[in-house]
Chain A
Amino acid sequence: MRLLMRANAHRPVPEGDGPGGVEVASSPDTPGRPERWLWHMRLLDGAPAPSEGKVTLAMGQGRTLEVTVNTGAVRADVQLLDVTESELLDRDEKELVALIASESVAVVEGRHVLHPSDTLVLEGDDPLRVSVRPANGHASVAVVRLTSATDGPHGMSVNWVP
């Protein structure tokens, strides 16, 4: 499944919950659901205080991508992908990958145009490989990989809908 959330659809980080910013994706998506909380990704104005279960990445213009996980269930890896030509990005079927455009415009699979802060979440059995290229010359895209903290063949898939 592909879940594309435009920058104008992100919701503000709740007041009192660290530096201001927006939440770009979370699971479960709605607070107060009976499912256990698993992870959320936020674009913050400034740098948050480090703590267990958080991984951060500077995104330019003073913003920080913060990925927070339930360490008993999920592991997170975050990298910045700089592309000047088309590159292929692979994922495992049980892995959730989120692509968050940084300061420039990227094109994924030749059709999803990601403007700054647009977020594309990939999960499930399709797609397992996507192309990422800049719309104009150069693009920076944060690549977040969420995998199960439970090792072995019984490790669960990480999904947006828990």
Chain B
Amino acid sequence: MFIRNAWYVIAWSEEITREPMQRKVLNEPIVLYRKQDGTPVALLDECAHRAYPLSAGRLIGDNIQCGYHGFEYDCSGVCLRVPAQERIPERARVQSYPLRESHRWVWIWMGDPELADSTPVPDTHWMTDPQWDRVTHTRLFRCRASLLHDNLLDLTHEAFLHTSSIGDEAVYENGITVEVNGPNVSVDRFMPNCHPSPLFAKATGEEKVDRWHTTEFQIPSLHTIHAGVVEPGGRREDGYLLEVLNAITPETDDTTWYFYAFCRNFAVGDEKVNDLLRTSLGDVLTEDDDALALQEERMKTRPDTRADVLIAQDAGVAKARRVMAKMLADEQKAAGSVA
């Protein structure tokens, strides 16, 4: 079960074109394309006639035509034409989904469309701000989404999974501040007077710094990690700053889309630094994917009587799980009331 009344990233802007593309999110196949004026469209990728994927069809103007028997739908999902007859059956329509395009990401709302208008998409302006540079990745992780949320809310794993790049003992030797504010959970760690992580040392040339990272989880779909280093005793805002955006979108019950953007306010325009970060951070994501795939395999067969043993560092994980469970229960209750 997934929280549906929320914005989830479904694609990069550049992925959606005048050629229909298919992507599955929250267990549902979605067809994406652009109207002639560039507005993106999302429909259920399943013709109402005989379930043929509309993504295997073609566009006619702003409409999409099924490639099997030619049913033609407009961008709100209404069937406008059935080639083999004049009458259009009442049930010949497919679901359409609200989309928002913002700073290179396209967000989809899978729940009650009336709630979408009053909910803004999260702030990701660093993705297009010219004062910042960024490297990006897109991965399909072989695990359920909750394992990624746990991974991002407890960064002590960096010291063990990512030893050659972003992690070292400073991460688990320093305590955390967890803050729960409505539907947002943040986990902050300050690591004073230490070495930068190996990757940060290569990218900045610094040797002794104050470090910090704060994972801010806007439940259920975006973790923004505000991070950086500064000379010991310096002000955070004067340091080398990072905004690492991790958009987590369930594909199925045990696979997850991971849209990643590592944004920095230093070495802007430096392609050598971009290449270093792109390669190293790609390796980080591979290390996480491999680890979480193993974890997923174990969790599939673990009996319910063997629940996780939590430690103090899991406070953010525990709180986020609790908030998500409540959001899901409230959503299901509201849906039951309407039914």
Contacts and interface: CB of A to CB of B under 8 A. Distances in A.
Interface string A4-20: 11101101000000000
Contact of B177 (A1, A33, A34, A161): A1
A159 B312 contact: yes
A6 B314 contact: no
A160 B177 contact: no
Most buried by A among B182, B305, B312, B314: B312
Give the size range of A's interface with the partner: 20 to 34
A29 B84 CA distance: 61
A4 B180 contact: yes
A161 B311 contact: yes
B178 A161 contact: no
Nearest to A159: B312
B322 A29 contact: yes
B169 interface: no
Contacts of B305: 34
Nearest to A5: B180
B147 interface: no
A8 B181 CA distance: 6
A123 B312 contact: yes
Contacts of B177: 1-4, 112
A61 interface: no
B55 to A, nearest CB: 41
Contact of B176 (A1, A29, A34): A1
A124 interface: yes
Interface string B306-324: 0100111111001101110
B175 interface: yes
Nearest to A2: B177
Contacts of A160: 312, 315
Interface in B141-175: 175
Given A1-B312, A2-B176, A4-B177, 19 more contacts: A2-B175, A2-B178, A5-B179, A5-B319, A6-B181, A9-B181, A9-B182, A29-B318, A29-B322, A30-B322, A34-B305, A34-B307, A124-B312, A125-B175, A126-B175, A160-B315, A161-B312, A161-B314, A161-B318
16 contacts: A1-B178, A1-B312, A1-B315, A3-B177, A3-B179, A4-B178, A5-B179, A8-B181, A9-B319, A29-B319, A33-B307, A34-B305, A124-B175, A124-B312, A126-B175, A161-B311
